[in-house]
């Protein structure tokens, strides 16, 4: 039967079922009230409700053109529906014809215009409908990025100096996949005010940046010679989360401090050949993007913007895939004129939680355009790295020169289990590819590969519940938790506990549900405290006699926690990991008398640049936080663990995509264990994240 054409009444029905939120409906009603009286407002009401819903799902716009011939809603992608009347089924409606719908929207000039100059709440550009501010963000971000890509930095090294410096900092080596894209990225960064370095884990993004920093600092000191006062090169490093910033600091410190040879006398591949005074000058510290910009609580404004730009000669931002469009707009507003912006990230990772797909749009636009002749010549003559013309037949653009894709992973070579599976997930497009990956996962589980490589195992689970009639391997979960967390439970000081806890993590796709973070955290607590149905004697033996001392309190000895909301006063930020231990234990290096009481417990967090020592807080004063035995894959971005248990839902979900699967698999250095229903894993492999934006097209505009 042909679905009925959607109507205002149908929208209210879908609202009752949870497809539209209260905000979607209220906003649509608000816009409709401002439409000219007498106009047909049903199409406007529908478009506005759908747009509000799209932005809530992290889209930038409503792609009306992409809705041609579709019905609404697609219940397979709705996830958990709030309520559907028993026996009533799930209603599906036909959307209006696109041309007619667009024509009707164009008639509402009081609330819809074709540009941001119209100052209407909605902007219709071609067949995409935007909230006014998001269309402005998109236009201004695209314009600024195009400008940066075509602009030289305030100072550019002369050719002879640059050629010699590149050859020294990036010495000739045998590469599995030439040319040396790290070297080419450094060349791009000294020629343009925009550089985007994309690549998976272990491809050398931060190594390239460390070498680039040595080049920039050396050139800066070369220019400063003879000056009355030699000012330092002002470099700002930032990342979306505190954890990602800490890892960036760690990686750059390791590269800068690397000796020429390793302890066994072999050449050290991390070593950077630079003058001692340059090495001594590189002591930059990364922080969060929000701290860099000077965001303040309960305000959309930042201390640094176009009227008060950042005090920097160079701005470098890691984990750029996590940056939503509004935040990128703020960064670009605050960027000083002539200062290069260098973005690092992995376009195949999960996108930002908030609206936008900025890194992906930049990389896809660059891939569509061709590199300029001038850049190709510079690669050959200055970097001594010949490259081929690129692009999909479009006219060459400076943006293509600015985007460098690192393809070879030193951490996960193509023949390693993680490298093989993550690459296959990225390229899988149909069920045949998914079947091949599932078969390969089974083979890797049955016959582990070289022990020197990070392993991948797969275990099929089929159950809606962990506790009742569960097919989840509880005994295996118990054994895995005890084996991996025994050093954590045995830690006698906060420093030891934080170091041990960072080696293993349970990662989930969702917060709620039988396979979500909350359930897995509860289950982990029950197992590790001996309160689960598992054999307590086996638990005690596996934990070396050490169990969580839970007395059903909110806080207990060795409770790991993750902060979920920024607290600028305490210097704690979303994603920060800490551990609760008794003050007596921390002072004496062992369990204190108050270990089983909330009295005397403190929450300990790693130090920061401003406060480098171990920090401790009264637990009751902490910002919102959660137990952290399990966390979402989203929150794991910017982190790396030795081993991960990746638990996916028992049924397919629109949240579980190939990007989520790829991100979870690549968080490890030693092993990842995938526990999932086959149907969920199969669907994730072939389901890319969908984000409706017009940024890619805007970037390709002249």
Query: What CATH number does residue 339 fall under?
Result: 3.40.50.300
Residue 28 lies in a domain: yes
Span 154-173, mean pLDDT?
91
Same-domain pairing of 387 and 419: no
Give pLDDT, residue 52: 97
Asked if 453 contacts 433 with a C-beta cutoff of 8 angstroms, the reply is no
Same-domain pairing of 371 and 429: no
Euclidean distance between CA atoms 614 and 495, whole angstroms: 8
Name the DSSP class of 321: G
Asked if 369 contacts 139 with a C-beta cutoff of 8 angstroms, the reply is no
Give pLDDT, residue 143: 97
Local confidence band at 513 (pLDDT 50, 70, 90 cut-offs)? confident
Of 48 and 542, which is predicted with more confidence? 48
Q: What is the pLDDT of residues 353-375, one digit of tens each?
A: 899 999 999 999 999 998 999 99
Local confidence band at 155 (pLDDT 50, 70, 90 cut-offs)? confident
Give pLDDT, residue 190: 94
b/e burial code for range 306-323 (CB count within 10 A of at least 16 → b): eeeebebbbbbbbbbbbb
Give pLDDT, residue 34: 84
Residue 580 lies in a domain: no
Domain total in the chain: 3
Nearest C-alpha neighbor of 532 from the set 481, 581, 489: 481
Span 481-486, mean pLDDT?
91
Euclidean distance between CA atoms 16 and 422, whole angstroms: 40
Q: Which residues contact residue 453 at a Cβ distance below 8 angstroms, ignoring those fewer than 6 apart?
A: 413, 416, 417, 418
> Is the pLDDT at 107 greater than 80, yes or no?
yes
For residue 356, what are the domain limits? 151-410
Same-domain pairing of 290 and 433: no
Same-domain pairing of 402 and 440: no
Q: Which residues contact residue 158 at a Cβ distance below 8 angstroms, ignoring those fewer than 6 apart?
A: none
Backbone torsions φ then ψ of 229, nearest 5 degrees = -135, 130
Give pLDDT, residue 538: 58
Nearest C-alpha neighbor of 245 from the set 513, 488, 574, 509: 574
Span 311-340, mean pLDDT?
96
Task: For residue 18, give the CATH number of its domain.
Answer: 1.10.10.1020
Residue 352 lies in a domain: yes
Q: What is the pLDDT of residues 601-631, one digit of tens each?
A: 999 998 876 667 899 999 999 999 999 999 9
Helix axes 159-169, 205-224, angle to 10 degrees: 140
Nearest C-alpha neighbor of 184 from the set 25, 435, 378: 378
Residue 622 lies in a domain: no
Of 137 and 527, which is predicted with more confidence? 137
CA distances from 528 to 303, 480, 532, 547 (A): 46, 11, 8, 6
How many other C-beta atoms are found inside a 10 Å radius of the C-beta of residue 701?
11
Give pLDDT, residue 230: 63
Euclidean distance between CA atoms 664 and 642, whole angstroms: 13
Same-domain pairing of 250 and 331: yes
Span 313-330, mean pLDDT?
96
Residue 273 lies in a domain: yes
Q: How many residues in the chain? A: 702
Same-domain pairing of 216 and 231: yes
Q: What is the pLDDT of residues 559-593, one digit of tens each?
A: 999 999 888 788 888 888 999 998 866 655 544 44
Euclidean distance between CA atoms 343 and 148, whole angstroms: 12
Residue 163 lies in a domain: yes
**Looking at 384, 410, 436, which one is the last position of a domain?**
410
Same-domain pairing of 406 and 416: no
Euclidean distance between CA atoms 550 and 559, whole angstroms: 9
> Is the pLDDT at 469 greater than 70, yes or no?
no
Same-domain pairing of 121 and 167: no
Residue 511 lies in a domain: no
Percent of the chain with pLDDT over 70: 88
> Is the pLDDT at 541 greater than 60, yes or no?
no
Same-domain pairing of 398 and 263: yes
Q: What is the pLDDT of residues 389-417, one digit of tens each?
A: 877 667 899 999 999 999 999 899 888 99
CA distances from 548 to 133, 430, 533, 540 (A): 50, 46, 16, 10
Same-domain pairing of 279 and 324: yes
Span 231-249, mean pLDDT?
87
Same-domain pairing of 162 and 288: yes
Residue 333 lies in a domain: yes
Which structure tokens are listed for 330? 């703020």
Q: Name the average pLDDT for the chain.
A: 87
Please tell me the number of Cα atoms within 13 Å of 496 on its side-chain side. Answer: 16
**Looking at 379, 410, 441, which one is the last position of a domain?**
410
Lowest mean pLDDT: which of 14-28, 73-87, 161-175, 639-653?
73-87
Same-domain pairing of 286 and 232: yes
Please tell me the number of Cα atoms within 13 Å of 124 on its side-chain side. Answer: 19
């Amino acid at each position: 039967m042909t679905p009925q054409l959607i109507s205002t009444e149908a929208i209210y029905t879908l609202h009752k079922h949870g497809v539209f939120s209260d905000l979607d409906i209220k906003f649509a009603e608000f816009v409709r009230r401002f439409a000219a009286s007498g106009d047909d407002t049903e199409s406007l009401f529908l478009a506005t409700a759908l747009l509000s819903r799209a932005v809530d799902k992290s889209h930038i716009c409503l792609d009306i053109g992409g809705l041609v011939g579709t019905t609404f809603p697609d219940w397979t992608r709705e996830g958990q529906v709030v309520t559907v009347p028993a026996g009533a089924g799930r209603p599906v409606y036909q959307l209006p014809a696109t041309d007619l719908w667009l024509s009707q929207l164009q008639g509402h000039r009081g609330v819809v215009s074709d540009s941001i100059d119209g100052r209407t709440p909605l902007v219709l550009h071609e067949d995409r409908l935007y909230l006014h501010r998001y269309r402005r963000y998109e236009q201004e971000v695209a314009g600024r990025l195009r400008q940066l890509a075509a602009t030289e930095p305030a100072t550019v090294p002369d050719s002879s100096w640059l050629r010699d410096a590149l050859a020294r900092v990036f010495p000739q080596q045998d590469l599995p996949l030439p040319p040396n894209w790290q070297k080419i990225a450094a060349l791009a960064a000294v020629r343009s005010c925009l550089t985007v370095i994309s690549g998976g884990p272990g491809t050398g993004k931060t190594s390239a940046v460390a070498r680039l920093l040595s080049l920039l600092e050396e050139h800066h000191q070369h220019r400063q010679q003879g000056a009355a006062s030699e000012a330092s090169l002002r470099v700002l490093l930032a990342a979306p989360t505190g954890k990602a910033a800490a890892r960036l600091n760690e990686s750059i410190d390791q590269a800068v401090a690397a000796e020429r040879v390793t302890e066994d006398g072999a050449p050290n591949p991390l070593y950077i050949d630079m003058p001692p005074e340059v090495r001594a000058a590189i002591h930059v510290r990364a922080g969060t993007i929000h701290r860099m910009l000077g965001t303040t609580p309960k305000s959309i404004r930042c201390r640094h913007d176009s009227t008060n730009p950042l005090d920097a000669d160079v701005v470098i931002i890691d984990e750029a895939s996590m940056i939503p469009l509004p935040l990128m707009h703020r960064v670009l507003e605050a960027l000083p004129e002539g200062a290069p912006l260098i973005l690092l990230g992995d376009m195949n990772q999960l996108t930002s939680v908030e609206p936008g797909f900025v890194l992906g749009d930049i990389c896809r636009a660059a891939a569509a355009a061709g590199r300029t002749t001038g850049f190709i010549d510079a690669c050959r003559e200055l970097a001594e790295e010949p490259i081929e013309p690129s692009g999909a037949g479009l006219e060459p653009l400076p943006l293509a020169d600015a985007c460098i894709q690192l393809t070879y992973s030193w951490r996960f070579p193509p023949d390693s289990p993680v490298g093989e599976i993550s690459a296959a997930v990225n390229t899988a497009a149909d069920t045949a590819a998914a079947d091949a990956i599932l078969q390969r996962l089974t083979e890797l589980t049955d016959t582990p590969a070289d022990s020197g490589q990070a392993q991948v195992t797969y275990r099929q689970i089929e159950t809606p519940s962990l506790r009742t009639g569960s097919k989840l391997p509880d005994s295996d979960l118990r054994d895995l938790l005890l084996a991996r967390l025994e050093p954590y439970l045995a830690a006698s000081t906060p420093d030891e506990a934080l170091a041990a806890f960072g080696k293993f993590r349970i990662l989930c796709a969702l917060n709620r549900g039988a396979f979500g973070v909350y359930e897995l955290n509860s289950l982990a607590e029950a197992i590790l405290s001996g309160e689960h149905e598992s054999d307590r004697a086996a638990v005690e033996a596996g934990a070396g006699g050490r169990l969580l001392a839970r007395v059903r309190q909110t806080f207990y000895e060795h409770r790991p926690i993750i902060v979920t909301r920024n607290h600028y006063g305490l210097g704690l930020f979303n994603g920060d990991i800490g551990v609760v231990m008794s003050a007596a234990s921390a002072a004496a290096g062992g369990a204190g008398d108050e270990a089983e009481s909330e009295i005397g417990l403190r929450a300990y967090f790693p130090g920061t640049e401003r406060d480098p020592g171990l920090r401790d807080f009264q637990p009751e004063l902490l910002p919102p936080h959660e137990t952290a035995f399990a966390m979402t894959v989203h929150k794991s971005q910017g982190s790396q663990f030795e081993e991960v248990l990746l638990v996916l839902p028992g049924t397919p979900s629109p949240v579980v995509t190939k990007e989520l699967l790829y991100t979870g698999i690549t968080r490890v250095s030693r092993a990842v264990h995938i526990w999932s229903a086959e149907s969920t894993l199969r669907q994730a492999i072939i389901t890319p994240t969908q984000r409706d934006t017009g940024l890619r097209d805007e970037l390709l505009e002249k």
